[in-house]
Chains A and B, each alone.
Chain A
């Protein structure tokens, strides 16, 4: 069995291709959890991922109050899954990470005919403080 402690983000880049939706759990400052799907988690480097911020969603509101999240991602080839514990680090509204996420959001908008609905507000960058392979 793979040693979970040796897994790095760059070894699981297949999980960040947006083929299988990810899951994100957040919690408000008063301890109410929220859980929803994410179309894609973006690999930034071996310590960071980026998430697109499109709406004033409950997830965004929770992260402004309590800047930590738990994300699970799937490898679309093997269906192995991994848990990432994230801590919010910064927001980018221009630059290469923002441009990459905007292209992705625009592609989804084009596919669904929802240009007015899906519009990238910012690219939020998170430090990955824990990464482990999930035992089903």
Chain B
């Protein structure tokens, strides 16, 4: 469902943003802090800030999630939609992935925006939780008139 290029984008230190929704349909936006794709299982493991209380509460209540990854320079973007099967404490691998993502993201943003790395680091969370997302749909989200075009869908 996810080809190698889009998997590489999702797993890169990109701009990773996450949408959730409450039972009363109020949406919430937060940032993601690393993804790893399990293509065989059709899932991805998404790290969220442990302080993202509204998003985590929404995921526990409705389970539905949208994750968009955007490459900082080219703005190439892909959006995954799916359902969260579980929210867990981070593993040792998650923490290593989080650290690597943050290092890469800070370097990229600092280079593009000309902002000192210590300023960008102010946006980083202290801790994360891990969400297992069952992938249901995949969309091209690159800015322009074709943004939102469906690339793949898992048939029920």
Contacts and interface: CB of A to CB of B under 8 A. Distances in A.
Contacts of B29: 23-25, 35, 70-72, 83
Contact of A35 (B62, B68, B122, B147): B68
Contacts of A85: 26
B66 A35 contact: yes
B123 to A, nearest CB: 4
Contacts of A74: 123
Nearest to B23: A31
Contacts of B156: none
Interface residues of A, number: 39
Contact of A29 (B25, B49, B62, B120): B25
Contacts of B119: 77-79
The number of chain B residues touching the other chain, given as a range, is 35 or more
B12 interface: no
Interface in B1-32: 15, 17-21, 25-31
Contacts of B124: 136
Given A29-B25, A32-B81, A136-B125, A79 B115 contact: yes
Contact of A79 (B26, B123, B145): B123
B115 A58 contact: no
Contact of A37 (B67, B70, B113, B125): B70
Interface string A53-76: 001011000000010111110101
A45 to B, nearest CB: 23
Contacts of B68: 35-37
Interface in A4-60: 19-21, 23-27, 29, 31-37, 39, 55, 57-58
Nearest to A129: B26
A23 B68 CA distance: 10
Contacts of A69: 27
A23 B17 contact: yes
A109 to B, nearest CB: 11
Interchain residue pairs A-B with the least CB separation, the first 6? A35-B19, A25-B19, A25-B29, A33-B19, A25-B27, A27-B21
5 contacts: A27-B27, A35-B68, A39-B143, A114-B144, A136-B123
